[in-house]
Amino acid sequence: MTPVYKLSASSITGRTNYGSMKAGFVPPVTVSYLVIAGGGGAAGADGGGGGGAGGYRNSVSGETTGGGGSAETPLTINKGTNYLVSIGGGGAGGGATGVSGTDSIFGSITSTGGGYGARQASGANGGSGGGSSARFSMNFDGGAAVSPTQGYKGGRAQTTGGSGPYAGSGGGGAGAAAADTTDGSSGGGNGLSSSITGSAVTRGGGGGGQGPNDAGTSGGTGGGGASATNNNDNATAGTVNTGGGGGAARAYNGKAGGSGVVILRWLTAEGTITVGAGLTADATGTDGSHSYKRITAGTGNVSWA
């Protein structure tokens, strides 16, 4: 005689609930991101510090985040849920100081705006720190990079003469600190390269500092602005959508930092993105089995279906 096994009520209920959950389950989307904040503005007049690059946070496998950190963890996105995106603006350039850049956001990820460059003062802290400048036997440190790791510090400027010369250091970049300088000037720290769109692009360069060097100094690779030559108003701003810091000046105001950007990447088979009102974005691109979206301006929501 075949034995009869009794099923408990809890066993039956558990199997029923499991089946119900399985039928209604919607798999999430794994999204890699590159979130870059706006770059800091630079200072001018009797030398100035370059603007620091906007904070650079990256979760693409095999790449690095700003400041030498390992790639972060991609976000797990629930379909049908709105996630905030905001693109940080570059800070304005100025005389005594520039203005720090503003933050960029994707969901729970915030990249901090680049620190401003300063004249005869320390640079501001930021995603990457702003550069400093000095005169009259002074010395001032560059701004520090904030936590979590997003970039590098700005350069330190020091002078040894009683009435001159002056010195101006560059702003920090996502990939390198700006060099310190004594009685001279230094360029901006270099940015980092990412292939989140399938092609390598460098972003997040610091702005060049302005000292007694009539030739000016270069911005860091990845959109950092160059400082002015002599007393000319020919410093350059940070490049749009790179988070580059602005270039410093000598007899004029420094230049503005470049705006930030948010780039998102996911497996095409996992879902389709919708970009809400208030955001400016490129058409969705593809790279093999992945899709990506570059969002260049505004504040609004994105979602996947």
CA 273 vs. chain centroid, Å, equals 23
E strand or H helix at 23: helix 9-24
When pLDDT is cut at 50, 70 and 90, the band that residue 164 belongs to is low
What are 103's two structure tokens? 């933050």
Which residue, among 58, 37, 55, 257, has the nearest Cα to 151 in the 3D structure?
A: 55
Q: What was the pLDDT predicted at 162?
A: 67
Residue 22 scores a pLDDT above 70:
no
Q: What was the pLDDT predicted at 37?
A: 99
What is the value of pTM for the model shown?
A: 0.92
- The count of C-alpha atoms lying within 13 angstroms of the C-alpha of 198, restricted to the half-sphere facing its C-beta, is 12
Residue 12's SS3 state is helix
Q: Which residue has the higher pLDDT, 15 or 106?
A: 106
Residue 268 scores a pLDDT above 70:
yes
The total number of residues written for the chain in this structure: 305
Q: For the segment 81-102, what is each residue's pLDDT rounded down to a tens digit?
A: 999 999 999 999 999 999 999 9
Please, which residues bridge with residue 210 across strands?
48
Instruction: Please report, for the chain, the start and end positions of each structural domain, with discontinuous segments joined by +.
Output: 30-305
Mean pLDDT lowest for which of 70-84, 113-127, 181-195, 207-221? Answer: 207-221
Distance CA 197, CA 175 (A): 19
What DSSP string runs through 33-57? EEEEPPPPPPP-SSSBPPPPPPPEE
Which residue, among 173, 226, 221, has the nearest Cα to 67 in the 3D structure?
A: 173
E strand or H helix at 18: helix 9-24
Distance CA 39, CA 102 (A): 8
Distance CA 228, CA 235 (A): 4
Distance CA 43, CA 46 (A): 10
Which residue, among 280, 279, 304, has the nearest Cα to 291 in the 3D structure?
A: 304
Distance CA 269, CA 280 (A): 24
Distance CA 42, CA 115 (A): 9
Distance CA 274, CA 243 (A): 25
Mean pLDDT of 173-180: 98
Which residue, among 46, 164, 167, 155, has the nearest Cα to 95 in the 3D structure?
A: 46
Distance CA 121, CA 173 (A): 19
- Phi and psi at 13, nearest 5°, equal -65, -40
What is the overall mean pLDDT for the chain? 92
Q: What was the pLDDT predicted at 9?
A: 43
